[in-house]
Chain A
Amino acid sequence: MRTKLWVITATAGLLALAIPAAAHHSFAAEFDVDRPVTVKGTVTKMDWVNPHSWIYVDVKDETGKVVNWRFEMGPPNALLRMGWRKDSIPPGTPVEIQGYRAKTGEAVANAKQVKLPDGRELFSGGSAPTLP
């Protein structure tokens, strides 16, 4: 049963996980640990692809111009196993995202933390969010 699955996973997920360093990504080659970013905006799309899901966010800069940022996240399989679904984060959801910017300088970053306006963190616990 799906609900049971994510409950078990949420508790056991707290197991300290020693992933071998040879993961499938070369973060240090792509993203700049010296260029952290924090943006506030609204979700336009979430791409449920492997090896990384992506969350797209419209961000207004100081001049009022809207730039669409692309944030890289982990593989969606973990989310699907926890009961998340394609429509779990609908477009229009306001978010604040912290991450590290791509070395190419584009509006691309690697997400470290994704928060809702009420302070709840997305993607830190197990359950899919109940959004207002």
Chain B
Amino acid sequence: MRRILLHIAAAVVLTMASLPMLQAQQRTAEKWTPPRTADGHPDMQGMWARRGVAIAEANAPKTPLSEFGTTGQPYPTVFNTGVSTPQAASALANRPSGIIEPANRVLPWRPEADAARREFLSHMIPPASLKYVEASARCVPPGLLGGDDRHPYQIVQRPGSLVLMYEYNHVTRVIHTDGRPHVGPNIRLYMGDSIGRWEGDTLVVDTTNFNDRTSFSQTIPFHSDALHTVERFTLIDPYIIDYQLTIEDPKMFTAPIRIAGTFAAAAKGSELMEFACAEGSQTLPNIFGFGLFPEQ
């Protein structure tokens, strides 16, 4: 009798032990595949919150620009909350973010570029002239590293293009995927000229034709017009788009820099709202002491 019971017990134990393996097999069999648009590409459409896209360099020079703290403002809390991402909350905690190459975040500066930006920073508080007012404060398009991520993004896809819309300052990037070339080299744009192509299920976006009027961060107040970026968007589950940004600016850096970020699904029911920037901005009148529009 005992032997039979032992056999039964062994069988039960073995079955229990192999359950996880069975479950794992089932999980790999159920690998998630993205929903697709009519032209067969992953459907990334919807409202998204962007996180992690920042270039926080190691050994950053001190600057009075950040006097008000990392978020740059003393606002009451509710103004500092981002667009909620309930489904992606725990996933976000484990996502790579910021500079991932170089791993030590010490940027490969050209010495003359590093010197030039430190010199520039020394004239920013108080700003010696209009040129030294932070680009991000002037309500011009923010370039690829700028943008206020307390505001959501929306992606719309159509045959031949993917459109990335920022709520912040109503910036719209139409990324053409129809095989067209970049615009000619003398056309210069704050947001550059973006051409996309699909590599499997990843959208690879090549952007050139930047002007030199945007900034990367509070310690990197400008870049050159030689800037060239490559972004990779991959929908890895229903709530997360993996985002990689590679920056090459041979006049500033001796090697490319790679940044990781995330677009996380925003709350259901949120929609783009107008964000009028220049219309309500009193930044320049506050700095210069005149110029509120209209003058009476």
Contact = CB atoms under 8 A, between A and B. Distances in A.
Q: Do A and B touch directly, given a CB cutoff of 8 Å in the complex?
A: yes
Interface of A: 1, 4-5, 8-9, 11-13, 15, 17-31, 33, 47, 49-52, 72-75, 77-82, 99-100, 102-104, 108, 110-114, 121-126
Given A5-B267, A19-B148, A28-B64, A12 B54 contact: no
B84 A50 contact: no
A12 B167 contact: no
B217 A51 contact: no
A20 B145 contact: yes
Given A22-B216, A49-B276, A124 B78 contact: yes
B51 A18 contact: yes
Nearest to B137: A26
Interface string B265-294: 001011001111101111100110100000
B97 interface: yes
A114 B134 CA distance: 28
The secondary structure that dominates the B interface is loop
A21 B269 contact: no
12 contacts: A11-B84, A15-B92, A20-B217, A22-B142, A22-B218, A24-B148, A49-B276, A52-B280, A78-B78, A81-B273, A104-B286, A126-B81
A21 B54 contact: yes
A86 B9 CA distance: 69
Contacts of B167: 77
A95 to B, nearest CB: 12
Interface string B58-85: 0000001111101111111111111111
A103 B286 contact: yes
Interface of B: 51-54, 56, 64-68, 70-86, 89, 92, 97, 124-127, 133-134, 136-137, 139, 142, 145-151, 167-169, 215-219, 267, 269-270, 273-277, 279-283, 286-287, 289
Given A8-B86, A26-B133, A126-B78, A17 B150 contact: yes
A23 B148 contact: yes
A52 to B, nearest CB: 6
A21 B52 CA distance: 11
Contact of A78 (B65, B150, B286): B150
Nearest to B54: A20
A102 B288 CA distance: 11
Given A22-B217, A75-B151, 16 more contacts: A1-B269, A8-B267, A9-B267, A13-B82, A15-B89, A17-B80, A19-B72, A19-B149, A21-B54, A21-B219, A26-B287, A50-B280, A52-B282, A78-B78, A100-B68, A124-B77
Contacts of A15: 81-82, 84-85, 89, 92
Nearest to A72: B282
Contacts of A82: 78
Contacts of B283: 25-26, 29-30
A8 B266 CA distance: 11
A47 B279 CA distance: 13
Contacts of A4: 269
A79 B151 CA distance: 12
Contacts of B56: 21
